[in-house]
Amino acid sequence: MPSGLSCRTTFFTLLLRYIFPVSAILRNVSIDDTYGDPTTGEHFVYTPAQAWNNSQTCDRCASDPDLGLSFDQTWHEATTPTNPFVTTNATVKFQGTALYVYCILSYFSQFWGNIDMTFYIDGEVHGSFVEYPPNTPNGTYHYSTLVFFTDALSQENHTFTLVNGEVTKTRSLVVLDYIQYTWVTCL
């Protein structure tokens, strides 16, 4: 038989729940590779800057995806320099409980390298994505491809970094389209 204290606690908990209901809404926000976060104004920082190409002004891009099939008609690409080897990074800040990363995958000749991405949140590795394109000149692009997600983050400020080329330490091509994060709003 329950004690009087636990019954009173349960009663008051239920009473408060119905008198002062608490609700929360999950909201998804997309951060475009070029236009940034429409909510906070945060933008990606690309390093080294000279290794990244913007689809809007690209005259030396390794890839040529259809802008009409990309999010907000933009993308950023980078290949890892091999002499000397240097990773290329895209970093942005957000506040949320989940994160989804979308890229355009280029399945063309290996001349431009592998697909090799490592994903950091707050300075710690949270995953990677590695693929080896076929050695053919007649490849395809795969748009809005989810290459990483996590839904186990605390509702606080986070720093996300995509590192290109870290796993294989060989030439690697990344075409970043956008990320999406989920944050909780209390009503």
What CATH number did the domain enclosing 137 receive? 2.60.120
The CA-CA-CA angle for residues 178, 184, 187, to 5°, reads 140
Q: What is the pLDDT of residue 157?
A: 97
The CA-CA-CA angle for residues 50, 89, 123, to 5°, reads 150
15 in a domain, yes or no? no
51 in a domain, yes or no? yes
16 in a domain, yes or no? no
112 in a domain, yes or no? yes
Which residue segment(s) compose the domain that 37 sits in?
Answer: 23-186
117 in a domain, yes or no? yes
Per-residue DSSP letter, 187: -
2 in a domain, yes or no? no
Structure token pair of residue 18:
């119905």
CB neighbourhood size of 20 (10 A): 7
The contacts of residue 4 (CB under 8 Å, 6+ apart) are: none
Q: What is the pLDDT along the chain (187 residues), one digit of tens a residue?
A: 444 444 444 444 444 455 555 577 889 999 999 999 999 999 999 999 888 988 877 777 778 888 899 999 999 999 887 667 788 999 999 999 999 999 999 887 655 678 899 999 999 999 999 988 776 667 788 999 999 999 999 999 999 999 998 877 878 889 999 999 999 887 6
12 in a domain, yes or no? no
Number of domains in the chain: 1
18 in a domain, yes or no? no
